[in-house]
Amino acid sequence: MTEQSDLTGQSERSERSGESDPSERSERSSPRGLGYRPIEDGVTTDLTDRLTYAGYLHLDELLSAQVPISDHHDEMLFIIQHQVTELWLKLLVHELRSAREKLRADDLPPALKRMARIKHIQRQMFEQWSVLETLTPIEYAQFRGKLGCASGFQSPTYRSVEFLLGNKNPGMIKVFRHDPETAAALQADLETPSLYDEFLRFLARAGHDVPADRVDRDWSQPYTAHPGVVEALRRIYAEPERYWAEYEASEELVDVEESFQLWRFRHMKTVERVIGYKRGTGGSSGVGFLRKALELTFFPELLSVRTEIGAEDAQGAGG
């Protein structure tokens, strides 16, 4: 007999014998130390033909998607950490697409709201590394060999995020040749203006002097910095009160970029402590390859404009 049916049986017996419900007895005798929380009368307990929590969230599918390929205890952590990250990445894609649409429509307040949420998601993704860092090299080594050439490098969700933010690289599509549907979806992301492209177009529409070839270009190609964009941003940063909307959007983008770099950095440090300087399962040099990504920047002029700010005042002042 299960615990639940045992309890139910007890209460049925006491009803038959005219005794009071044991939970009521203990409530009377011990008003503060009940031992458990009685279910309130208003709580729905008959869920036949109703929308349930498990049904709405497809928990059957979600919780049966953790399928270890070894019998090592720690593989479950490895799988769940990746899957949770994939879910956060999926939400990032959703929010980034929406922020981009809002910018395209010159609807800045909701775009900024999306970016605020994006930063909180990034914070979760950053903090999450501490869980995986409990995986020691010897624990990982026990099942690493079973992974073959599978690697996070092949995550389509991650690649969408990179493309949406502006790290365009047409060469990445070939990694998905085995899966034409995914390759086509990524190709579409590659060919669509990134969040930064839309930001620059937004600035141009607001009357800022953004070079024409940055407002209309081959979106599938990597973005390259332009001194004209630095100059446009310098003017915005010189008069924040006058250009508050542009100024605020710029700072939000810098936050998102920094948070992204922190995730990349922590991934690299986790990899370093778990596999040292071994090659990756995906075939790269490993830590060295990941470290190179730290030199990438999504919004180059938003960083270089900082060199210009106050540069004249600081001359000779040692600042």
Tokens of 291: 């470290």
Residue (162 or 252) nearer to ligand HEM, CB: 162
Site string for ligand HEM, 205-234 (x = CB under 6 A): ------------------------------
Q: Is 290 in the site for ligand HEM (CB under 6 A)?
A: yes
CA 226 to CA 234: how far, in whole Å? 13
| 161 within 8 A of 122, measured Cβ to Cβ | no
CA 26 to CA 30: how far, in whole Å? 6
Residue (155 or 304) nearer to ligand HEM, CB: 155
CA 291 to CA 266: how far, in whole Å? 10
CA 230 to CA 245: how far, in whole Å? 17
Q: Is 46 exposed, middle or buried (0-12, 13-18, 19+ CB in 10 A)?
A: exposed
Q: Is 284 in the site for ligand HEM (CB under 6 A)?
A: yes
CA 66 to CA 62: how far, in whole Å? 8
Choices 60-68, 180-188, 268-276, 301-309; region in contact with ligand HEM by CB under 6 A: 268-276
Half-sphere exposure of 117 (CA within 13 A, CB side): 16
Residue (172 or 229) nearer to ligand HEM, CB: 172
Which of the 8 DSSP states describes residue 155? -
Q: Per CB under 6 A, which of residues 123..142 are in contact with ligand HEM?
A: 132, 135, 140
Choices 90-98, 150-158, 215-223, 239-247; region in contact with ligand HEM by CB under 6 A: 150-158
Q: Per CB under 6 A, which of residues 51..80 are in contact with ligand HEM?
A: none
Within 10 angstroms of residue 26's Cβ, the number of other Cβ atoms is 15
Residue (84 or 204) nearer to ligand HEM, CB: 84
Site string for ligand HEM, 80-119 (x = CB under 6 A): -xx--x----------------------------------
Residue (100 or 267) nearer to ligand HEM, CB: 267
Which of the 8 DSSP states describes residue 41? T
Supply the minimum distance, in Å, between the C-beta of residue 116 and ligand HEM.
23
Of 120, 260, 90, 108, which is closest to residue 198 (Cα–Cα)? 108
Supply the minimum distance, in Å, between the C-beta of residue 152 and ligand HEM.
2
Q: Is 122 in the site for ligand HEM (CB under 6 A)?
A: no
Residue (30 or 136) nearer to ligand HEM, CB: 136
φ/ψ bin of 310: left (φ > 0), alpha (ψ from -120 to 50), beta (otherwise):
left
Q: Is 180 in the site for ligand HEM (CB under 6 A)?
A: no
Q: If you search the block for the tokens 């033909």, which residue do you land on?
A: 49
Q: Is 168 in the site for ligand HEM (CB under 6 A)?
A: no
Residues that bind ligand HEM (CB under 6 A): 81-82, 85, 132, 135, 140, 151-153, 155, 158, 267, 270-271, 274-275, 280-284, 286, 289-290, 293
